[in-house]
Structure 1
Amino acid sequence: MPKITFQVDTRLAKLLAENYRSSERALKELIDNGWDADAEHINISLPEPLTSDPVIVCDNGSGMTEHELLKEYLYIASDRRQRRGELTSQKKRKVKGKKGIGKFAGLMIANAMQVETWTRGKKCTFSLTTADLENANDIEDLSVNLNIVDIPDSKSHGTKITLSNLVQNLSFPSPDKLRQLLLQEYGRSDDIEITVNDKKLGIDDIQGSYTQLKHNLPNVGELNIRFTVSNQKGKLKQPGISIRVGGKIVGSPTFFGLDREEDFPTKLLDKIYGEIEADGLFDHVTADWGALIENSELFTEIQEFIKPLLKEKVKEEYGREMSLAQARLTRKINERLSALPEYKRVYADKAIKSILGRYYGEPESKVEPIVSVLLDAVEKTDYRAILDYIHAAEHSEISKLAEALSEFGLAELAIVGEQAKSRLEFLDRFEELCQKEETEEYVVHSALEKCLWVFGANYSVFSSNRTLKRQVEDFLNKNYIGERANKRPDLLLNVNFANEYLLIEFKRPSHSLQYKDYQQATAYRNDFVPYTSSKITVILIGGKRGIDLPPSHHMEPNTNVFIFDEIIASARHQLNWLLKELGGEQHA
């Protein structure tokens, strides 16, 4: 049986060259080659429109020897990463070249390409044209003249690519578009400098509103601030504000708390790009230069200045679009708005603005249902009762509630009211559970594990997690086995954001707490000391107080004894007070 082989038409090289969406993206491929060659400087020269000047890409990377040209560069579709690994040899950069076809990118925008590369005292030069490719039948038979000459400086290295006779039916490469494209990829890189037509890549190259200013802070000193709020379509790569200290970038870009603002549109975070030089933070940088030290007061001082500045500039750039979006939405729901009393329309309008701000960039089909639910709340639920109460209240009462409205927002007040009612219903069901003689410890444990607000507002910030549950399980499995298994206690270990621990021992609602119960609960605290050096507060809860239970002033510090009836009554009183404050006596 005769063997057959594939042949590769020279048209393949031209097809590979056309594998780019724009002239700028094709040029970026050549710049990526400079990155992979560990270049520190890359200079791109673009011609003026309607001139015959060439495009020149020149870098001071490692260059190529004759052997590297023949065995690697001219080897089509050879994956550099398989030959040399994922990282470059000198600067340990992540290699960008993946397919081995980027060498043909220049032939997308030009009919002739000259490659000059030098290293170790030798300079190699060859040229390739689209006509050469069209006139050859097989790419392996394509003859390329390689010129090799000696150069006086044996330590010099680099590569220069000259693209001439630009393709006439394509737009000339745009310096602005190329800078914007390159900035996305290389704007955060400290070890490379790229210039396009003698201008270094800068934050001002991003299309949008550019801000540059210097400002002195009392403790930090001078800040050099540069950032752009982009108005181009799509999100930026690596958005945020970088902090540069002593000429070096520290950690990852940050948004100075804007990403934690509930009323700030999440999609607009992707439009912010910039850098702040703050040498005053030098003593607050970690040893690996990977971050600022936690709880840095100097960073907090910077954040308090930068965050409102960013919000103001974003509003300047996108405020008009947000207003237009509100106008379009208002026209659609105008009939429902017009049916509301004037004082309700004011609040509904304010709430709609808040929703549009939060969901900026989302399609209107997604925002409309949210606004519809809001209007339902104004028209039909306790939302309406709150507004009626405000409208009918005296001036002093309006002042009191206006303060609450400004703090929570109208929608949040409605949610608070609904949540208070739900919690009251929970307390009713929980009280019924506690009144049953057969209710065991694990039942009340399960009910209260995620409802610690029943113990009081200061306990609602505590929560358990997988690690804490494992620690409790390990302790119980170790100490309560065999004959002691039936004495196994029901414990819940929680922690808050301040790293303070809360250990709760649950007893049956029918159990009368004794002194030995108190002793055992405090002993558990000592058993958990090996797990943490933080403060551990102990709660013992049961159905009644025994006669030998010590009074609170004789108990160990950070130890509390609660009775189910007491905590239910206290929680119910707080919720009734909240409903009264929201909607008057009749709503409590």
Structure 2
Amino acid sequence: MTTEAAKLYIAFHGRVIEHLGIDMYQSPVAAIAELVSNSWDADARRVTVSLPDDISADAEIVISDTGEGMSLKQCQDRYLKVGYNRRKDRQSEFTVGGRPVMGRKGIGKFAGFGIANLVVVDTVSRETGERTVFKLDVARLTGESDGYASETRLDVEVVDYSGPNESMRKDGGTTIYLRNLTLKKRPNSDQFRLSMARRFLLLERSDEFEVLVDGKPIADEENVEKIQFSFPVDYAEGEAPAGVTLDGGWGVERLSNGEKIRWRFHFYRDPIHEEELAGISIFSHHKLSQRPFFFNLSGGIGGQQGTSYLSGRIEADFIDDQEKDLISTERQRINWEADAALPLAAWGQDRVKALLRIWQDRRAESKVKAMNARIEPFSQRLGKLERHERKIVNRALTSLARVAVISDEQFEDLANAILSAWEGGRLRDLIDDLGQTGEMDADALVRILIESRAMNALHAAERVKIQLNLLEGLEQRIKNRELENAVRDYIAENPWMISPEWDTFKVEKSLENLMKMVGETSLDTLEGWKGRVDLVLCSGHQLLVIEFMRPGVTADWDHVGRFERYIFSLREAIIANRGGDFTSVTGLMVADRLERPAGFTEKLAGLRRQGMDATDWAGLLGKARSQWQDYFDILFDRAPEDGRMQALAGAGTASTESSEDQ
């Protein structure tokens, strides 16, 4: 064979469909977005997407538009021609209706195979009135069913066809049915609608191109309340770069190569956790060409934490107008190595870095303003500090305010903790260091939080330790019958030492008359109650009544029964609106000793179920020590490796189980 006679040809394997559709468009949003793009290019005024109620054998997704449709010949020459380039074929970057063409690669038609095994196309030509219905089965296209993979052409099954019909032209448009779905679950309509909107910049042209999902239009719902700063609108005087002009909230400027772009960046109040929202998206001819990213910036930039709060959009049509295609096949990435893309990459890096620095300063300013407002209630406490101390604390709070990852609520808590720590002589060196810090990194913040947690736990543990030692001394004195009346008086004045859960209670004196009136009929006539010490505490809507019997008296059935009726009577009086805002009444009776006749233990158990209790001094103080001990163990576990906490756990006569276990 001579050189002239030798022939070569390119054969396209049917499995190429796997790469053009199945592998690249495995999410329903990505797949259907490509079909919506085709509807835009077909000059459709409306596209409707209908999602199935569930994923079953007969479930289908339907995409229908009101575009120009296709004749039988156009189905062959355009739709069924792999790699058909609408722009070159029509020698225009615009559709017949004047829209910038989105499609370029001629493979978006296969996107449906990413989520379905069968695609049915039903199209009516607005030009001729022809109606053509055909179907594409992925099994045949990839050669899984009949060996087509080795052939060069495949007959497509035409389900229905009717020739030119003038009356049908008004019904022009295309409907695509995706069947034999490969989805694992039905897409959520609301999230699908939002995700679809984020793949396009179409809101400005919604009057001429409407996309509906399950009957509702897609909408990029920017929650204004969640946005803290929006640029370029929020540039202060003198901050905006030269050449930036405003256009309906968007910035317009020219790159170094003369190409025009439009952009808008938002900083949210809280970190963004949605992958498709966090970062800068780039669009060309209204369609996504670069998924959200940060222009490949690496660490070491000022205000880098702000990337967690930043979301932005850039409209750069020129990226899609280059002779060489710069956008990846699945329209997720731009080829940033290409010369035409370099000016946009450089602009993006500069703009993001500059805005991160501005954001850091603005964030700090807003936190400082909030801090000043929140510190106002603490002004009296601050006023007690020496002047140089106030300056140190204020510097520390300002430095803390610059830490972007701290929310307003967290900042308020930490600011209050700093003030409390300083007042208590805690963390003074650390707070002073914090005040000297110009910019705090995450490691420094974590160090402060760890130390703060340890010191706060230690501070609380010291108080608990005092209570434990005090209770142990009280128990011993009660056993020895020493200072009995003084002990009772002290407990009456400091009831919170008996139980950590009473720490928020305060003495309530407004009900003295009511208590006396109810008590006269319930208790005062009974031996053992006259001359007793009683106490009424309150916390919120809860009322706690503590009755101490006279020394030397043993409580019996009658005493417990009278106490029970007393609490019931008081509850009725409260319900009768004679007790103000209180809605709950509980009671505790304390005696030197309790009789233990048959059934008495069950009686006490019944009282507890009704919000009442009766106990002796040994039981009261023993339970108190156990509760405070449990509280100490919890505090110890917050800083078990801290030497100060370990020393505290081993000090005195009241050691903890936790310290012994360490």
TM superposition score normalised by structure 2:
0.36
TM superposition score normalised by structure 1:
0.40
State which structure, 1 or 2, has the greater radius of gyration over its C-alpha atoms: 2
